[in-house]
Chain A
Amino acid sequence: NAGVTQTPKFRILKIGQSMTLQCAQDMNHNYMYWYRQDPGMGLKLIYYSVGAGITDKGEVPNGYNVSRSTTEDFPLRLELAAPSQTSVYFCASKTGFYTQYFGPGTRLTVL
């Protein structure tokens, strides 16, 4: 199993550009999550999904959108990138009451 994969690993965006961060898992987990981690800080929940077709807002959803058309994939869309969105983005998945498995992260810089 590859576990949770994220692409790209690094990206630099200009202000106002848009992009999609990809997240995929091959463990047939029903729960998936997107977090952002600013330097030296904890993780903030952006969006989460409890199954295909179901998504819900987390703590900091503004400026982001998600979709969950399949169990495996949970892309995060940034529209009109702003410097405040410079961060490391982590995707995670889990099943039941078990622990979350995290991807390696995407380091995003908005200039």
Chain B
Amino acid sequence: ELKVEQNPLFLSMQEGKNYTIYCNYSTTSDRLYWYRQDPGKSLESLFVLLSNGAVKQEGRLMASLDTKARLSTLHITAAVHDLSATYFCAVDDDDKIIFGKGTRLHILP
């Protein structure tokens, strides 16, 4: 059974700092997704990573995938308050897409 683990689950950080969220998973999948969720809202797609070594960047966020280590990272550069949200990774295991528990990110001004 596929397990998807994110850490940390909670993160409070200062504006301007850098940080990384980690997503470990237990199968050999090479398809991984990152989403953002604001309180009381639905999920918004951030990145789709489809192969080993894939790297995607959008603004202050960068995601990467290492299928050999079964690890994806979401790196935040020079955080701003608007990035406060919950971030989820999700792994595609033969069309069954399983989510991690999410990382609640709070960025202090």
Q: Give A58 to B90 CA distance when docked, in angstroms.
A: 14
Q: Give A33 to B96 CA distance when docked, in angstroms.
A: 9
Q: Give A31 to B102 CA distance when docked, in angstroms.
A: 23
Knowing A42-B102, A97-B50 are in contact, say whether A56-B45 is a contact too (CB < 8 A): no
Contact with B along A83-111 (1 / 0, CB 8 A): 00000001010000111111111000000
CB distance from B71 to the nearest CB of A (A): 18
Main secondary structure of the interface of B (DSSP, over half): strand
Are A43 and B88 closer than 8 Å at their CB atoms?
yes
- In the bound complex, residues from chain A placing their C-beta under 8 Å from that of B50 are 97
Contact with B along A44-64 (1 / 0, CB 8 A): 110010100000101100000
Chain A contact patch, size range: 20 to 34
Knowing A97-B31, A99-B33, A100-B33 are in contact, say whether A43-B99 is a contact too (CB < 8 A): yes
Residues of B near any A CB (own CB < 8 A): 31, 33, 42-45, 48, 50, 88, 90, 92, 95-102
